[in-house]
Structure 1
Amino acid sequence: MGINEGNLGPLDWIIIFGYMVGLIAMSAWLSRGQHTGKDYYLGSNSSGPWAIALSTMATQCSTNSLLGVPAFVAFSGGLVWLQYELGVPFAMIALILLIMPILRGMNLISVYQYVEDRFSLNARLLLSALFLILRAFATGVTIYGVGLTIAKVLNVDFFMAVLILMIATIVYDFLGGMKAVIWSDVIQIILIFGSIIAAVFVAVHINGGISGTLAAFPPERMKAIDFKGTGLGDGQTYSFWPMLIGGFFLYVAYYGCDQTQAQRSLSTRNVGETNQALFIGGLLRFPLVLSYCLLGVAIGAHAAIYPEFVDTLQLHVDAKGEPEWNLALPVFVLQHFPTGLIGVVMVGILGAAMSSLDSTLNSMSAVTMQDFVHRLKKKPLSDRQELYLSKATTVLWGLLCLAFSFYVGGIATTVVESVNKIGSLLNGPLLALFTMGLLTRFIGARAVIAGLLLGLTGNALLWLFAPGVSWLWWNVFGFIVAWVVGLGVALIDRQPVREIPGAVHVKPSAKTWRSVAILAAYGVLIGVGLAFM
């Protein structure tokens, strides 16, 4: 069932398809400087810190976030979602001081090359295979879930919605590589943020101004800090401690050790710009998420003032027969925005989906080429061969994930809502592996492989048999289990430690320490501010 409260006009469709064509044309123009696989995957290391920071933020701003967070604030959890951001500045500090200077200094394409250099080829291939399997699974399910939403928003069938989303994404990713990913994401984050702000202003105006909005929004959902649970078996997934501590481990692992995010940080001109990009992202992410949440407040107040708005949402149900609250933003836009501006907002919703998919496809191609294809080739590839094969691999992963999205309908009722959990299965053990390499000189390959596998298994068991434990804690538990196992095995089975070629321990500069101090103060300020909400 499509959304019948308003249909997109010809101008809206012109804007949508014009945007797609514009992205493809921009990508073709950006591809002119590509000569090697490294150019394709790292954008010739020519992107500045602002572009990389904004691109990383856009990847985080998926369609699920753009639609799901306002719905969470408006209809269920309220502003406690902001607790999720408390760990971000502190995670950026860990990345700036410990992880990214080493990885960027090694001039890597695949972040997992570090694992081979420090431990072994087997450890690298295992981690790369786990990354590709879990990422392909999550991407296929994401395409399915986003495709269903876009089909209802645009009032087209599922097949057409997925084609609109994926064809443009695959084509501009194929043409422009990392440069296209970065600059399309910059455009998309501007459109997304503009759409959010426009929707907030319109909703607040209709609600009778700021005072009318605040008066109508349920007061129990205005509380941003929730200490009432621990998330350790009580079912309180989004309480303070799992969101702060679990969020910290999640963000350090995701931004520093996951190829989809770390590849952007490897695309800078030097280590200093990598740190600057992390610093900028650490400052700007909270205002972006705050705008999501303010939109949720405005929509929640609108639903309280105009009950017929809720009645409209209840006409649209998911596979479980429950109202699709995630459609609140598009329904509101279709009801109250003029044609043309509707098209711009729909571009923002599509852009949110594309910004999370483009970097995923590029990173999966990079890992495939760097960690597997180069191992199978007896003769080195020429620059031209590597470039063409890199692009072909991006298309192949795009088509595989697209095909997979058509076959997950039977499991999507449980998996779509669990997509965020998939990353948390691996995040903790992944971070443990990298930090064991960075912080010790006696833990070897067999120890980290054992830690990685047992940490991943422990998290899977929590998912299956301890549903009351917040999945945010998996990021911590997996880290601890992997470290304990790794230390235990290393004490029994000592292996000689490899010297890492190209690894340089860079002493933090005065500028770096200033960035760290600002991020620390910023994180404390966010926490204090939320405590008084």
Structure 2
Amino acid sequence: MIALDWIVLIGTLAAIVGYGTWKTRGSKSSEDYIRGGSTTKWWTIGLSVMATQASAITFLSTTGQAYSDGMGFVQFYFGVPIAMVIICMVFIPLYHKLKVYTAYEFLENRFDLKTRSLTAILFLVQRGLAAGITIFAPAIILSIVLGWNLITLNIIIGVLVIIYTVSGGTKAVSVTQKQQMFVIFAGMFAAFFITLDLIPDDVSFTNALDIAGASGKMEVLDFSFDLDNRYTIWTGIIGGSFLALSYFGTDQSQVQRYLSGKSVKEMRWGMMFNGLLKVPMQFFILLVGVMVFVFYQFNKAPLNFIDASTEKVMASEYSEEYQALRDKQTALFDQKQTVSLKLAKSYNEADKKKLLRLDSIEKSYRAEAKYLIKRAVDSDYGVKYDKLSKELSEIKTNPNDPTYEEKSAELTKLYKDAAKDNATNDRDYMFISFILKYLPNGLIGLLLAVILSAAMSSTASEINALATITSIDLYKRNREGSVAIDPDKDDAHYVKATKLFTLGWGILAIIIACFASLAENLIQLVNIIGSIFYGNVLGIFLLAFFFKYVKGNAVFVAALITQVIVVFIWYIDVIPFLWLNLVGCILVIFLAMILQSTNKKVA
């Protein structure tokens, strides 16, 4: 990075923070600070809702997902438009009619205080964890790629968010997110077209799509019913609909965005705007990742995108093995480049099959590289792997040995663990590595601003929502025993309390970020956390909307049992995590109905 990149980066972030703080400097009432004054227009609502969901993880992990696995991940979002229609028809009119500050106020009106409090606590747990991850995700990647201190980056991102969120509340979050989305769109479009320009001149965009398709990257739809496949059209439409319905309909970080709307009409237009634009937006981000993959068919990719990990393995006893892999990859690259150019000139099945095979071989080299890196950074891992390998070799001479399958499974798990380690799992590093090495100065600063802006926008929404829930659903409700805020009764006290809770949740998010660790894929980690809780919460709301005879005690007990069961199902990993949304939702409804039916006296 040169001075121009720093000017663009710092200038963009300073402008967003400054604008948000200045624009909302007069937010002193609960109506202004918590609900945003109920003056927000539909386009601001739509962009704010999109910005809340589009964290830095979206741009770093989604592009990496496309590079590794192709466009199929877009199916995850197919349920969003369906959910938007239901939210516009059911949720928005009800929330507006009741004039609630949070989604969970409604649950006390319908059930009781303990059900409201339980649902609020479930939200605080899962969203509190997610807030830390949305800071940690870009911070750890930028720290490794740029050599910045991780703790310092976590604090910088967190403090920038805290400044304008504490100052202006919900309105500050909404107005800054509109600016952040403009920065994000501008940066991603620039990255896309410059990536196309970096591909050889005799390879057109259509040719690039052909090359990507030949490597299996353009398989958008999967109609299979394979439960081992996380992303199919059925998973997206069914599991994705339940996740989106719960997220946009019951998650305060989203509900708070459209509760600030000027009218029901503005809220509905804003949500439909999000519903119509979300899938194309995610498709485009994935397409950027696919075009980067095509770029690397003509430019040699590193064996692992984490430079620090490569340096470690090259300084270890495994350097010769790693270098041998690099040499193999170089020879393979020459073949891939030749076949890709042939496909660009004349698409045919023979070359398509050859490119697919070459890509599969390169994946095996990358997997072996991760294994060597893991051994280089973790000596205990290498000792354990060697011991198991030796034991298996000895057992093979005795086919009747009952421990063979068990030890074989252990060895396979060890090999898979090497791919998930935060020193080897480079999927989330691909895009930022490409940006820094190949994009022009100035644009590097803009795209880093995109990543940090996305982190700030989603984190701001989360800590704003966490503070609101803590203040309204727990602190105020249990302090005064009143359901609704009385603007004339000590209103300034609750604004001050919400600001303090915002500061507290912001600090906690920074602390969680500082102690977090990478999962297999960051965007999956966020969705897994959501899926564990969202189905249960959605089921509680559906019981409130449509099952009038079910009372509070039955719902409360059913929700507790459901949450334990869902966590257990996730732990034993028997179904893809998206299906947890459906399981949690159906289970809490079923259990509540059973409990209510077996005890007619339940209140």
1: CA distance between counterparts of 2:480 and 2:256?
26
Q: Are residues 459 and 254 of structure 1, via their aligned partners in 2, closer, same or farther at CA, if it must alter by over 3 Å?
A: same
Please state whether the residue corresponding to 1:300 is helix, strand or coil: helix
Partner of 1:335: 437
Structure 1 position 16 matched with structure 2 position 9? yes
Partner of 1:478: 584
2: CA distance between counterparts of 1:293 and 1:407?
29
1:388 pairs, out of 496, 501, 512, with: 496
2: CA distance between counterparts of 1:424 and 1:323?
23
Q: Note the C-alpha offset of 1:495.
A: 5.9
Are the aligned partners of 1:23 and 1:172 in contact in 2 as well (CA < 8 Å)? no
Structure 1 position 397 matched with structure 2 position 392? no
Runs of 4 or more, structure 1, over 4 Å off, are 378-381, 412-417
2: CA distance between counterparts of 1:198 and 1:36?
41
2: CA distance between counterparts of 1:292 and 1:275?
25
Structure 1 position 442 matched with structure 2 position 438? no
1:223 pairs, out of 219, 222, 236, with: 219
2:161 pairs, out of 156, 164, 169, with: 169
Residue identity over aligned pairs, in percent, reads 27
**Aligned AA (1:205):** D
**Aligned AA (1:14):** I
Give the alignment of 1:103-252 within 5 angstroms: 103-208=95-200, 209-219=204-214, 220-231=216-227, 235-252=228-245
Give the alignment of 1:448-459 within 5 angstroms: 448-459=555-566
Q: Are residues 57 and 415 of structure 1, via their aligned partners in 2, closer, same or farther at CA, if it must alter by over 3 Å?
A: closer
Partner of 1:503: none
2: CA distance between counterparts of 1:444 and 1:487?
9
Q: Are residues 122 and 376 of structure 1, via their aligned partners in 2, closer, same or farther at CA, if it must alter by over 3 Å?
A: closer
Partner of 1:515: none
Unaligned runs of 5+ in 2: 310-419
Q: Are residues 52 and 279 of structure 1, via their aligned partners in 2, closer, same or farther at CA, if it must alter by over 3 Å?
A: same
Please state whether the residue corresponding to 2:307 is helix, strand or coil: coil
Structure 1 position 371 matched with structure 2 position 367? no
> Which has the higher mean CA deviation after the structures are superposed, 321-330 or 359-368?
321-330
Give the alignment of 1:37-52 within 5 angstroms: 37-52=30-45
Are the aligned partners of 2:61 and 2:521 in contact in 1 as well (CA < 8 Å)? no
Please state whether the residue corresponding to 2:272 is helix, strand or coil: helix
Are the aligned partners of 1:12 and 1:339 in contact in 2 as well (CA < 8 Å)? yes
Are the aligned partners of 1:85 and 1:247 in contact in 2 as well (CA < 8 Å)? yes
Please state whether the residue corresponding to 2:550 is helix, strand or coil: coil
Q: Note the C-alpha offset of 1:400.
A: 1.4
2: CA distance between counterparts of 1:495 and 1:260?
36
Are the aligned partners of 2:243 and 2:581 in contact in 1 as well (CA < 8 Å)? yes
* Length, aligned pairs only: 482
Give TM-score scaled by structure 2 length.
0.76
1: CA distance between counterparts of 2:453 and 2:146?
14
Are the aligned partners of 1:364 and 1:397 in contact in 2 as well (CA < 8 Å)? yes
1: CA distance between counterparts of 2:128 and 2:212?
39
1: CA distance between counterparts of 2:509 and 2:477?
24
Partner of 1:407: 515
Partner of 2:361: none
2: CA distance between counterparts of 1:170 and 1:349?
17
Structure 1 position 432 matched with structure 2 position 539? yes
Q: Are residues 250 and 316 of structure 1, via their aligned partners in 2, closer, same or farther at CA, if it must alter by over 3 Å?
A: farther
1: CA distance between counterparts of 2:427 and 2:527?
18
1: CA distance between counterparts of 2:2 and 2:147?
12
Please state whether the residue corresponding to 1:147 is helix, strand or coil: helix
2:529 pairs, out of 422, 443, 455, with: 422
**Aligned AA (1:41):** I
Partner of 1:264: 257
Are the aligned partners of 2:425 and 2:520 in contact in 1 as well (CA < 8 Å)? no
Please state whether the residue corresponding to 1:447 is helix, strand or coil: helix
Unaligned runs of 5+ in 1: 1-7, 498-533
Are the aligned partners of 1:37 and 1:387 in contact in 2 as well (CA < 8 Å)? yes
Partner of 1:284: 277
Partner of 2:460: 358
Give the alignment of 1:63-142 within 5 angstroms: 63-76=56-69, 78-142=70-134
Q: Note the C-alpha offset of 1:240.
A: 2.3
2: CA distance between counterparts of 1:494 and 1:207?
69
Q: Are residues 377 and 323 of structure 1, via their aligned partners in 2, closer, same or farther at CA, if it must alter by over 3 Å?
A: closer
Q: Are residues 302 and 316 of structure 1, via their aligned partners in 2, closer, same or farther at CA, if it must alter by over 3 Å?
A: farther
Q: Are residues 226 and 414 of structure 1, via their aligned partners in 2, closer, same or farther at CA, if it must alter by over 3 Å?
A: closer
Q: Note the C-alpha offset of 1:451.
A: 2.3
Q: Note the C-alpha offset of 1:413.
A: 4.7
Q: Note the C-alpha offset of 1:91.
A: 0.9
**Aligned AA (2:122):** L
Partner of 1:347: 449
**Aligned AA (1:471):** F
Give TM-score scaled by structure 1 length.
0.86
1: CA distance between counterparts of 2:589 and 2:495?
38
- Aligned-residue RMSD, C-alpha: 2.1
Are the aligned partners of 1:230 and 1:241 in contact in 2 as well (CA < 8 Å)? no
Q: Note the C-alpha offset of 1:323.
A: 4.3
Are the aligned partners of 1:173 and 1:181 in contact in 2 as well (CA < 8 Å)? yes
**Aligned AA (1:277):** G
Structure 1 position 31 matched with structure 2 position 38? no
**Aligned AA (2:543):** M
Are the aligned partners of 1:55 and 1:186 in contact in 2 as well (CA < 8 Å)? yes
1: CA distance between counterparts of 2:513 and 2:81?
35
Cα displacement string for residues 136-193 of structure 1 (whole angstroms, at most 9, x for unaligned residues): 2232244333320122344311022112211111101111211111121111111112
Cα displacement string for residues 104-155 of structure 1 (whole angstroms, at most 9, x for unaligned residues): 2211111100010100011111111121122222322443333201223443
Are the aligned partners of 2:213 and 2:219 in contact in 1 as well (CA < 8 Å)? no
2: CA distance between counterparts of 1:398 and 1:239?
36
Are the aligned partners of 1:447 and 1:490 in contact in 2 as well (CA < 8 Å)? yes
In terms of Rg, which structure is larger? Answer: 2
Are the aligned partners of 1:250 and 1:427 in contact in 2 as well (CA < 8 Å)? yes
Q: Are residues 236 and 400 of structure 1, via their aligned partners in 2, closer, same or farther at CA, if it must alter by over 3 Å?
A: same
